[in-house]
Structure 1
Amino acid sequence: MRVLEVTRDDIPKDFIILIPIGSIEQHGPHLPLGTDSIIAEYVAGEVERRFSGKVLLYPTITVGSSMEHVGFKGVTWVRFESLVHYLLDLVESTSAWGAGGVVFVNGHGGNVDALNIVVKSWNYNHDKPRALHYYIYNPRVTNFMKRFFPSFGHADAVETSIIASISKDLVRWDRVVDVEVSGNINVVRAIDVSSTGIIGTLRRDLIKPEFGAELLRFIIDDLINQLRIYYPTLESTPG
Protein backbone atom coordinates (compact mmCIF):
# COMPACT_ATOMS: atom_id res chain seq x y z
CA MET A 1 0.00 0.00 0.00
CA ARG A 2 1.11 3.52 -0.75
CA VAL A 3 0.11 6.08 1.84
CA LEU A 4 -0.78 8.72 -0.76
CA GLU A 5 -3.30 6.37 -2.37
CA VAL A 6 -5.23 4.91 0.61
CA THR A 7 -7.89 6.26 2.93
CA ARG A 8 -7.61 6.22 6.70
CA ASP A 9 -9.97 3.21 6.82
CA ASP A 10 -7.74 1.14 4.53
CA ILE A 11 -4.84 1.03 6.99
CA PRO A 12 -4.55 -2.33 8.81
CA LYS A 13 -3.55 -2.80 12.45
CA ASP A 14 0.12 -2.97 13.43
CA PHE A 15 1.25 -2.10 9.93
CA ILE A 16 4.88 -1.37 9.09
CA ILE A 17 5.77 1.95 7.48
CA LEU A 18 8.56 2.07 4.90
CA ILE A 19 10.15 5.47 4.32
CA PRO A 20 12.82 5.73 1.61
CA ILE A 21 15.33 8.49 2.32
CA GLY A 22 18.13 9.69 0.09
CA SER A 23 19.63 12.96 -1.05
CA ILE A 24 19.74 15.61 -3.73
CA GLU A 25 23.44 16.07 -4.39
CA GLN A 26 26.05 15.91 -7.10
CA HIS A 27 27.01 12.48 -8.38
CA GLY A 28 29.73 13.43 -10.80
CA PRO A 29 29.00 14.68 -14.33
CA HIS A 30 27.21 11.49 -15.35
CA LEU A 31 24.67 10.52 -12.66
CA PRO A 32 21.49 12.34 -11.59
CA LEU A 33 21.33 14.51 -8.48
CA GLY A 34 18.72 12.14 -7.10
CA THR A 35 20.82 8.97 -7.40
CA ASP A 36 20.58 8.01 -3.71
CA SER A 37 16.86 8.80 -3.60
CA ILE A 38 16.16 6.86 -6.80
CA ILE A 39 17.91 3.76 -5.46
CA ALA A 40 16.25 3.95 -2.02
CA GLU A 41 12.84 4.43 -3.62
CA TYR A 42 13.37 1.48 -5.95
CA VAL A 43 14.37 -0.85 -3.10
CA ALA A 44 11.50 0.24 -0.84
CA GLY A 45 9.01 -0.08 -3.70
CA GLU A 46 10.10 -3.64 -4.45
CA VAL A 47 9.83 -4.59 -0.77
CA GLU A 48 6.36 -3.04 -0.51
CA ARG A 49 5.29 -5.14 -3.48
CA ARG A 50 6.50 -8.31 -1.74
CA PHE A 51 4.48 -7.67 1.40
CA SER A 52 1.06 -7.39 -0.26
CA GLY A 53 -0.84 -4.87 1.84
CA LYS A 54 1.10 -5.38 5.07
CA VAL A 55 3.37 -2.37 4.77
CA LEU A 56 2.60 1.27 4.09
CA LEU A 57 5.01 2.95 1.68
CA TYR A 58 5.65 6.65 2.20
CA PRO A 59 6.97 9.09 -0.40
CA THR A 60 10.74 9.38 -0.54
CA ILE A 61 12.44 11.98 1.63
CA THR A 62 14.75 13.37 -1.02
CA VAL A 63 16.62 16.09 0.86
CA GLY A 64 18.97 14.82 3.54
CA SER A 65 22.27 15.65 5.17
CA SER A 66 24.61 16.45 2.27
CA MET A 67 26.97 19.11 3.57
CA GLU A 68 29.94 17.02 2.44
CA HIS A 69 29.10 17.94 -1.16
CA VAL A 70 28.83 21.69 -0.68
CA GLY A 71 30.74 23.51 -3.42
CA PHE A 72 29.11 21.64 -6.31
CA LYS A 73 25.99 22.85 -8.11
CA GLY A 74 22.71 21.18 -7.27
CA VAL A 75 23.57 20.11 -3.73
CA THR A 76 20.57 20.60 -1.45
CA TRP A 77 20.78 19.89 2.28
CA VAL A 78 19.29 20.37 5.71
CA ARG A 79 21.31 20.70 8.90
CA PHE A 80 22.11 17.48 10.73
CA GLU A 81 20.09 18.49 13.78
CA SER A 82 17.15 19.59 11.62
CA LEU A 83 17.01 16.16 10.00
CA VAL A 84 17.10 14.42 13.40
CA HIS A 85 14.20 16.50 14.76
CA TYR A 86 12.17 16.11 11.56
CA LEU A 87 12.51 12.32 11.52
CA LEU A 88 11.74 11.99 15.24
CA ASP A 89 8.59 14.05 14.73
CA LEU A 90 7.62 11.82 11.83
CA VAL A 91 7.96 8.66 13.93
CA GLU A 92 6.08 10.23 16.84
CA SER A 93 3.20 11.25 14.59
CA THR A 94 2.69 7.67 13.40
CA SER A 95 2.70 6.34 16.97
CA ALA A 96 -0.62 8.09 17.59
CA TRP A 97 -2.52 6.00 15.07
CA GLY A 98 -1.16 2.50 15.42
CA ALA A 99 2.00 1.91 13.41
CA GLY A 100 3.84 -1.22 14.52
CA GLY A 101 7.13 -0.13 13.02
CA VAL A 102 8.81 2.62 11.04
CA VAL A 103 11.63 1.55 8.71
CA PHE A 104 13.89 4.12 7.09
CA VAL A 105 15.33 2.71 3.86
CA ASN A 106 18.42 4.87 3.53
CA GLY A 107 20.39 5.23 0.32
CA HIS A 108 22.76 8.01 1.42
CA GLY A 109 25.82 7.68 3.66
CA GLY A 110 25.49 11.27 4.88
CA ASN A 111 22.21 10.35 6.59
CA VAL A 112 23.63 7.45 8.60
CA ASP A 113 24.63 9.34 11.76
CA ALA A 114 21.33 11.22 11.95
CA LEU A 115 19.28 8.07 11.44
CA ASN A 116 21.22 6.13 14.06
CA ILE A 117 20.48 8.89 16.57
CA VAL A 118 16.79 8.91 15.60
CA VAL A 119 16.42 5.15 16.03
CA LYS A 120 18.23 5.03 19.38
CA SER A 121 16.47 8.11 20.74
CA TRP A 122 13.06 6.71 19.84
CA ASN A 123 13.47 3.01 20.66
CA TYR A 124 15.16 3.60 24.01
CA ASN A 125 12.16 5.65 25.16
CA HIS A 126 9.15 4.05 23.43
CA ASP A 127 7.74 0.57 22.86
CA LYS A 128 5.92 1.35 19.60
CA PRO A 129 6.37 1.88 16.79
CA ARG A 130 9.74 0.18 16.67
CA ALA A 131 12.05 2.21 14.47
CA LEU A 132 14.64 0.61 12.21
CA HIS A 133 17.36 2.18 10.08
CA TYR A 134 18.22 0.03 7.07
CA TYR A 135 21.29 1.40 5.32
CA ILE A 136 21.44 0.07 1.78
CA TYR A 137 25.26 -0.17 1.86
CA ASN A 138 25.58 -2.04 5.15
CA PRO A 139 28.48 -4.49 5.72
CA ARG A 140 26.52 -7.49 4.40
CA VAL A 141 25.92 -5.66 1.15
CA THR A 142 29.45 -4.27 0.79
CA ASN A 143 30.87 -7.75 1.36
CA PHE A 144 28.64 -9.12 -1.41
CA MET A 145 29.66 -6.17 -3.58
CA LYS A 146 33.27 -7.35 -3.60
CA ARG A 147 32.30 -10.13 -6.01
CA PHE A 148 31.82 -7.52 -8.73
CA PHE A 149 33.67 -4.33 -7.83
CA PRO A 150 37.14 -3.51 -6.47
CA SER A 151 35.89 -0.77 -4.13
CA PHE A 152 32.89 1.35 -3.18
CA GLY A 153 32.85 5.13 -3.15
CA HIS A 154 30.61 7.86 -4.52
CA ALA A 155 29.33 8.18 -8.10
CA ASP A 156 31.67 5.33 -8.92
CA ALA A 157 31.25 2.12 -10.93
CA VAL A 158 29.00 0.67 -8.22
CA GLU A 159 26.41 3.45 -8.17
CA THR A 160 26.61 3.84 -11.93
CA SER A 161 25.91 0.13 -12.43
CA ILE A 162 22.97 0.25 -10.02
CA ILE A 163 21.42 3.30 -11.68
CA ALA A 164 22.00 1.77 -15.12
CA SER A 165 20.17 -1.38 -14.01
CA ILE A 166 17.16 0.73 -12.95
CA SER A 167 17.22 2.82 -16.14
CA LYS A 168 20.07 3.17 -18.61
CA ASP A 169 18.59 6.51 -19.68
CA LEU A 170 19.48 8.00 -16.29
CA VAL A 171 23.21 7.67 -17.01
CA ARG A 172 24.84 10.36 -19.17
CA TRP A 173 27.09 7.89 -20.94
CA ASP A 174 28.95 10.54 -22.93
CA ARG A 175 30.09 12.14 -19.66
CA VAL A 176 31.50 9.00 -18.03
CA VAL A 177 35.19 9.53 -17.25
CA ASP A 178 37.87 7.11 -16.10
CA VAL A 179 38.76 8.24 -12.58
CA GLU A 180 40.33 6.75 -9.47
CA VAL A 181 40.26 9.00 -6.41
CA SER A 182 40.68 8.18 -2.74
CA GLY A 183 39.35 10.34 0.07
CA ASN A 184 37.23 10.16 3.19
CA ILE A 185 34.25 12.48 2.77
CA ASN A 186 33.18 11.78 6.33
CA VAL A 187 35.94 14.16 7.43
CA VAL A 188 36.53 16.43 4.39
CA ARG A 189 34.33 17.77 1.61
CA ALA A 190 34.20 15.89 -1.67
CA ILE A 191 35.35 18.97 -3.56
CA ASP A 192 38.53 19.07 -1.46
CA VAL A 193 39.68 15.67 -2.73
CA SER A 194 37.96 15.28 -6.10
CA SER A 195 37.46 17.93 -8.77
CA THR A 196 34.96 15.62 -10.54
CA GLY A 197 32.99 14.84 -7.38
CA ILE A 198 33.68 11.13 -7.92
CA ILE A 199 35.24 9.16 -5.07
CA GLY A 200 36.58 5.67 -5.72
CA THR A 201 36.92 3.95 -9.08
CA LEU A 202 34.98 4.74 -12.21
CA ARG A 203 35.87 2.99 -15.47
CA ARG A 204 33.71 2.15 -18.43
CA ASP A 205 34.74 -1.49 -18.34
CA LEU A 206 33.57 -1.77 -14.69
CA ILE A 207 30.07 -0.41 -15.35
CA LYS A 208 27.83 -3.46 -15.62
CA PRO A 209 24.04 -3.03 -15.34
CA GLU A 210 23.72 -6.78 -14.76
CA PHE A 211 26.01 -6.46 -11.71
CA GLY A 212 23.87 -3.56 -10.50
CA ALA A 213 20.77 -5.74 -10.84
CA GLU A 214 22.42 -8.55 -8.84
CA LEU A 215 23.31 -6.07 -6.14
CA LEU A 216 19.78 -4.68 -6.01
CA ARG A 217 18.35 -8.19 -5.66
CA PHE A 218 20.71 -8.86 -2.78
CA ILE A 219 19.78 -5.58 -1.06
CA ILE A 220 16.05 -6.26 -1.40
CA ASP A 221 16.39 -9.79 0.00
CA ASP A 222 18.62 -8.51 2.80
CA LEU A 223 16.08 -5.85 3.79
CA ILE A 224 13.29 -8.44 3.79
CA ASN A 225 15.37 -10.67 6.07
CA GLN A 226 15.93 -7.76 8.45
CA LEU A 227 12.21 -7.02 8.51
CA ARG A 228 11.50 -10.64 9.44
CA ILE A 229 14.00 -10.40 12.30
CA TYR A 230 12.72 -7.10 13.70
CA TYR A 231 9.03 -7.68 12.97
CA PRO A 232 8.47 -11.48 13.28
CA THR A 233 4.74 -11.34 12.54
CA LEU A 234 5.37 -9.80 9.12
CA GLU A 235 5.26 -12.35 6.31
CA SER A 236 6.27 -11.58 2.74
CA THR A 237 4.88 -13.14 -0.40
CA PRO A 238 7.20 -14.91 -2.88
CA GLY A 239 9.07 -12.35 -5.05
Structure 2
Amino acid sequence: MYWQDLTTKTFREEVLGRIDTAILPTGSVEAHGQHCPLGTDNIAPWYFAEQLEAKFPDRVLILPPIPYGHTWELANYAGTISVSTEVFSRYVAEVAKGALAWGIKNIVLMNGHGGNTAALNAAMEEIAEHGGQAVLVNWWIDYSRDILTVTEGQGHAGEDETSVMLAIAGPLVKMEDASFNPYTPKYRVRAMGLHDKTLRHATTGDGRTGTREKGERIVELCTARMVELLEDLWSDNLFSRKD
Protein backbone atom coordinates (compact mmCIF):
# COMPACT_ATOMS: atom_id res chain seq x y z
CA MET A 1 0.00 0.00 0.00
CA TYR A 2 1.04 3.58 -0.60
CA TRP A 3 0.54 5.80 2.42
CA GLN A 4 -0.41 8.91 0.46
CA ASP A 5 -3.06 7.09 -1.60
CA LEU A 6 -5.13 5.97 1.39
CA THR A 7 -8.02 7.84 2.92
CA THR A 8 -7.98 8.30 6.67
CA LYS A 9 -10.91 5.85 6.90
CA THR A 10 -9.05 3.23 4.88
CA PHE A 11 -5.94 3.78 6.98
CA ARG A 12 -7.92 3.32 10.18
CA GLU A 13 -9.70 0.18 8.95
CA GLU A 14 -6.98 -1.55 6.93
CA VAL A 15 -3.67 -0.41 8.37
CA LEU A 16 -3.97 0.20 12.11
CA GLY A 17 -3.13 -2.99 13.95
CA ARG A 18 -2.43 -4.83 10.70
CA ILE A 19 0.70 -3.37 9.06
CA ASP A 20 3.82 -2.66 11.08
CA THR A 21 6.42 -1.99 8.36
CA ALA A 22 6.93 1.17 6.32
CA ILE A 23 9.49 1.88 3.62
CA LEU A 24 10.80 5.43 3.42
CA PRO A 25 12.70 6.16 0.18
CA THR A 26 15.43 8.79 0.51
CA GLY A 27 17.66 10.23 -2.17
CA SER A 28 19.02 13.44 -3.62
CA VAL A 29 18.82 15.86 -6.51
CA GLU A 30 22.33 16.01 -7.93
CA ALA A 31 24.47 15.68 -11.02
CA HIS A 32 25.04 12.11 -12.14
CA GLY A 33 27.72 12.32 -14.77
CA GLN A 34 26.66 14.21 -17.84
CA HIS A 35 24.25 11.48 -18.88
CA CYS A 36 22.04 10.31 -16.01
CA PRO A 37 19.12 12.35 -14.62
CA LEU A 38 19.49 14.62 -11.62
CA GLY A 39 16.90 12.48 -9.83
CA THR A 40 18.79 9.20 -10.23
CA ASP A 41 19.12 8.75 -6.46
CA ASN A 42 15.35 9.16 -6.08
CA ILE A 43 14.33 7.06 -9.06
CA ALA A 44 16.24 3.94 -7.96
CA PRO A 45 15.00 3.65 -4.34
CA TRP A 46 11.44 4.44 -5.38
CA TYR A 47 11.61 1.69 -8.01
CA PHE A 48 12.86 -0.82 -5.44
CA ALA A 49 10.12 0.25 -3.02
CA GLU A 50 7.55 -0.38 -5.78
CA GLN A 51 8.90 -3.89 -6.33
CA LEU A 52 8.57 -4.69 -2.64
CA GLU A 53 5.05 -3.26 -2.48
CA ALA A 54 4.09 -5.47 -5.42
CA LYS A 55 5.53 -8.50 -3.61
CA PHE A 56 4.02 -7.69 -0.20
CA PRO A 57 1.03 -5.39 -0.84
CA ASP A 58 -0.63 -6.23 2.48
CA ARG A 59 2.48 -6.13 4.62
CA VAL A 60 4.31 -2.91 3.75
CA LEU A 61 3.38 0.74 3.50
CA ILE A 62 5.36 2.96 1.13
CA LEU A 63 5.84 6.44 2.55
CA PRO A 64 6.17 9.45 0.24
CA PRO A 65 9.89 9.89 -0.54
CA ILE A 66 12.27 12.47 0.87
CA PRO A 67 13.91 13.66 -2.37
CA TYR A 68 16.55 16.14 -1.15
CA GLY A 69 19.75 14.97 0.52
CA HIS A 70 23.21 16.05 1.54
CA THR A 71 25.42 16.31 -1.56
CA TRP A 72 28.23 18.74 -0.73
CA GLU A 73 30.74 17.29 -3.19
CA LEU A 74 28.46 17.84 -6.18
CA ALA A 75 27.05 21.22 -5.18
CA ASN A 76 28.99 23.02 -7.94
CA TYR A 77 27.47 20.96 -10.74
CA ALA A 78 24.44 22.43 -12.48
CA GLY A 79 21.09 21.37 -11.07
CA THR A 80 22.33 19.96 -7.76
CA ILE A 81 20.39 20.87 -4.62
CA SER A 82 22.04 20.06 -1.29
CA VAL A 83 20.69 20.33 2.24
CA SER A 84 22.74 20.11 5.41
CA THR A 85 23.33 16.80 7.14
CA GLU A 86 21.65 18.15 10.27
CA VAL A 87 18.48 19.27 8.50
CA PHE A 88 18.19 16.06 6.49
CA SER A 89 18.71 13.83 9.53
CA ARG A 90 16.21 15.81 11.62
CA TYR A 91 13.58 15.64 8.86
CA VAL A 92 13.95 11.88 8.35
CA ALA A 93 13.68 11.27 12.08
CA GLU A 94 10.56 13.44 12.37
CA VAL A 95 8.84 11.66 9.48
CA ALA A 96 9.73 8.28 10.93
CA LYS A 97 8.43 9.22 14.38
CA GLY A 98 5.21 10.33 12.74
CA ALA A 99 4.87 6.84 11.27
CA LEU A 100 5.63 5.23 14.63
CA ALA A 101 2.73 7.18 16.14
CA TRP A 102 0.38 5.22 13.86
CA GLY A 103 1.52 1.76 14.83
CA ILE A 104 4.49 1.30 12.53
CA LYS A 105 7.28 -0.63 14.24
CA ASN A 106 9.76 -1.18 11.41
CA ILE A 107 11.12 1.67 9.28
CA VAL A 108 13.10 0.58 6.22
CA LEU A 109 15.17 3.49 4.94
CA MET A 110 15.50 2.76 1.22
CA ASN A 111 18.37 5.09 0.43
CA GLY A 112 19.72 6.03 -2.98
CA HIS A 113 22.50 8.47 -2.07
CA GLY A 114 25.80 7.82 -0.32
CA GLY A 115 26.04 11.34 1.08
CA ASN A 116 22.96 10.64 3.20
CA THR A 117 24.47 7.76 5.13
CA ALA A 118 25.87 9.64 8.13
CA ALA A 119 22.61 11.52 8.59
CA LEU A 120 20.55 8.36 8.26
CA ASN A 121 22.64 6.58 10.88
CA ALA A 122 21.86 9.40 13.31
CA ALA A 123 18.16 9.27 12.41
CA MET A 124 18.13 5.52 13.00
CA GLU A 125 19.36 6.03 16.54
CA GLU A 126 16.53 8.45 17.23
CA ILE A 127 14.00 6.06 15.69
CA ALA A 128 15.29 3.31 17.98
CA GLU A 129 15.08 5.57 21.01
CA HIS A 130 11.41 6.18 20.22
CA GLY A 131 10.57 2.49 20.17
CA GLY A 132 11.00 1.71 16.49
CA GLN A 133 13.34 -0.55 14.58
CA ALA A 134 15.19 1.00 11.67
CA VAL A 135 16.93 -0.76 8.79
CA LEU A 136 19.09 1.08 6.27
CA VAL A 137 19.42 -0.18 2.70
CA ASN A 138 22.13 1.28 0.47
CA TRP A 139 21.56 -0.95 -2.56
CA TRP A 140 24.87 -0.31 -4.34
CA ILE A 141 26.87 -1.00 -1.15
CA ASP A 142 24.86 -3.73 0.54
CA TYR A 143 24.60 -5.80 -2.62
CA SER A 144 27.95 -4.91 -4.13
CA ARG A 145 29.06 -8.53 -4.27
CA ASP A 146 26.02 -9.42 -6.36
CA ILE A 147 26.42 -6.35 -8.56
CA LEU A 148 30.03 -7.19 -9.32
CA THR A 149 28.94 -10.52 -10.79
CA VAL A 150 27.30 -8.41 -13.48
CA THR A 151 29.61 -5.41 -13.91
CA GLU A 152 33.36 -4.95 -13.86
CA GLY A 153 33.13 -1.85 -11.70
CA GLN A 154 30.93 0.46 -9.67
CA GLY A 155 30.72 4.20 -9.27
CA HIS A 156 28.69 7.35 -9.09
CA ALA A 157 27.04 7.42 -12.53
CA GLY A 158 29.41 4.55 -13.24
CA GLU A 159 28.78 1.21 -14.87
CA ASP A 160 26.37 -0.14 -12.27
CA GLU A 161 24.29 2.97 -11.66
CA THR A 162 24.12 3.83 -15.35
CA SER A 163 22.97 0.29 -16.10
CA VAL A 164 20.21 0.46 -13.48
CA MET A 165 19.01 3.77 -14.88
CA LEU A 166 18.96 2.35 -18.40
CA ALA A 167 16.81 -0.51 -17.10
CA ILE A 168 14.28 1.49 -15.08
CA ALA A 169 14.34 4.99 -16.63
CA GLY A 170 15.96 4.47 -20.02
CA PRO A 171 14.50 7.50 -21.86
CA LEU A 172 16.08 9.84 -19.27
CA VAL A 173 19.63 8.56 -19.87
CA LYS A 174 21.72 10.24 -22.58
CA MET A 175 24.39 7.67 -23.34
CA GLU A 176 25.99 9.90 -25.97
CA ASP A 177 27.12 12.06 -23.03
CA ALA A 178 28.28 9.17 -20.83
CA SER A 179 31.40 10.06 -18.88
CA PHE A 180 34.50 8.48 -17.40
CA ASN A 181 36.64 9.48 -14.44
CA PRO A 182 40.19 8.04 -14.61
CA TYR A 183 41.00 9.04 -11.03
CA THR A 184 40.48 6.84 -7.97
CA PRO A 185 41.18 8.38 -4.53
CA LYS A 186 43.83 6.72 -2.41
CA TYR A 187 42.51 8.26 0.82
CA ARG A 188 39.33 9.69 2.31
CA VAL A 189 40.00 13.39 1.83
CA ARG A 190 37.95 16.60 1.62
CA ALA A 191 39.29 19.92 0.36
CA MET A 192 38.13 22.65 -1.96
CA GLY A 193 39.49 22.32 -5.49
CA LEU A 194 39.60 18.50 -5.61
CA HIS A 195 36.31 18.03 -7.47
CA ASP A 196 37.93 17.70 -10.88
CA LYS A 197 39.56 14.49 -9.69
CA THR A 198 37.23 13.12 -7.03
CA LEU A 199 34.18 13.65 -9.24
CA ARG A 200 35.39 14.58 -12.70
CA HIS A 201 32.34 15.13 -14.94
CA ALA A 202 30.27 14.35 -11.79
CA THR A 203 31.34 10.73 -12.19
CA THR A 204 33.35 8.05 -10.48
CA GLY A 205 34.11 4.99 -12.57
CA ASP A 206 33.01 4.53 -16.18
CA GLY A 207 29.41 5.20 -17.16
CA ARG A 208 30.17 4.41 -20.80
CA THR A 209 30.07 0.67 -20.15
CA GLY A 210 26.56 0.60 -18.73
CA THR A 211 23.83 -1.34 -20.54
CA ARG A 212 20.14 -1.98 -20.02
CA GLU A 213 20.74 -5.73 -19.86
CA LYS A 214 23.22 -5.34 -17.02
CA GLY A 215 20.77 -3.07 -15.22
CA GLU A 216 17.93 -5.55 -15.49
CA ARG A 217 20.10 -8.23 -13.92
CA ILE A 218 21.26 -5.90 -11.13
CA VAL A 219 17.67 -4.94 -10.35
CA GLU A 220 16.68 -8.60 -10.24
CA LEU A 221 19.50 -9.50 -7.86
CA CYS A 222 19.00 -6.50 -5.56
CA THR A 223 15.24 -6.96 -5.37
CA ALA A 224 15.69 -10.60 -4.38
CA ARG A 225 18.03 -9.50 -1.58
CA MET A 226 15.52 -6.91 -0.37
CA VAL A 227 12.75 -9.50 -0.31
CA GLU A 228 15.04 -11.66 1.81
CA LEU A 229 15.69 -8.71 4.12
CA LEU A 230 11.98 -8.16 4.76
CA GLU A 231 11.41 -11.84 5.38
CA ASP A 232 14.29 -11.86 7.86
CA LEU A 233 12.91 -8.72 9.51
CA TRP A 234 9.51 -10.28 10.02
CA SER A 235 10.96 -13.57 11.29
CA ASP A 236 13.38 -11.81 13.68
CA ASN A 237 16.33 -13.25 11.78
CA LEU A 238 18.48 -10.14 11.41
CA PHE A 239 21.70 -11.65 12.75
CA SER A 240 23.81 -14.57 11.65
CA ARG A 241 25.50 -16.63 14.34
CA LYS A 242 28.55 -18.86 14.50
CA ASP A 243 28.79 -21.36 17.34
Q: TM-score, normalised by structure 1?
A: 0.88
Give the drift of 1:22.
Answer: 0.9
Distance in 2 separating the partners of 1:183 and 1:71 = 19
Give the drift of 1:179.
Answer: 4.4
What 5-or-longer segments of structure 2 have no aligned partner? 237-243
Report the 3-state secondary structure (helix = DSSP H, G, I; strand = E; otherwise coil) of the residue aligned with 1:137: helix
Among 102, 105, 113, the alignment partner of 1:100 is: 105
Distance in 2 separating the partners of 1:61 and 1:228 = 25
Is the contact between residue 68 and residue 185 of structure 1 (CA under 8 Å) also seen in structure 2? no
1:209 aligns with 2:186: no
Distance in 1 separating the partners of 2:211 and 2:60 = 32
Deviations 1:15-68 (A, max 9, x none): 311111111000111110001110111001110111022211122211011112
Among 223, 237, 241, the alignment partner of 1:220 is: 223
Letter in 2 for 1:231: W
Letter in 1 for 2:85: F
Q: Which portions of structure 1, spanning 4 or more consecutive aligned residues, are displaced by more than 4 angstroms?
A: none
Percent sequence identity over aligned pairs: 26
- The two structures, once aligned, show a CA RMSD in angstroms of 2.0
Distance in 1 separating the partners of 2:81 and 2:38 = 9
1:168-179 mapped onto 2 (5 Å cutoff):
168-179=170-181
Letter in 2 for 1:168: G
Report the 3-state secondary structure (helix = DSSP H, G, I; strand = E; otherwise coil) of the residue aligned with 1:138: helix
Q: Which residue of 1 aligns with 2:241?
A: none
Q: TM-score, normalised by structure 2?
A: 0.86
Deviations 1:135-165 (A, max 9, x none): 11234x1111211222211111111111001
Task: Rate the CA distance shift 1:94–1:202 in 2: closer, same or farther, 3 A.
Answer: closer
Is the contact between residue 24 and residue 74 of structure 1 (CA under 8 Å) also seen in structure 2? yes
Is the contact between residue 15 and residue 100 of structure 1 (CA under 8 Å) also seen in structure 2? yes
Report the 3-state secondary structure (helix = DSSP H, G, I; strand = E; otherwise coil) of the residue aligned with 1:31: coil
What 5-or-longer segments of structure 1 have no aligned partner? 234-239
Letter in 1 for 2:230: L
Deviations 1:150-189 (A, max 9, x none): 2211111111111001132111122124543323796337
Among 30, 37, 46, the alignment partner of 1:32 is: 37
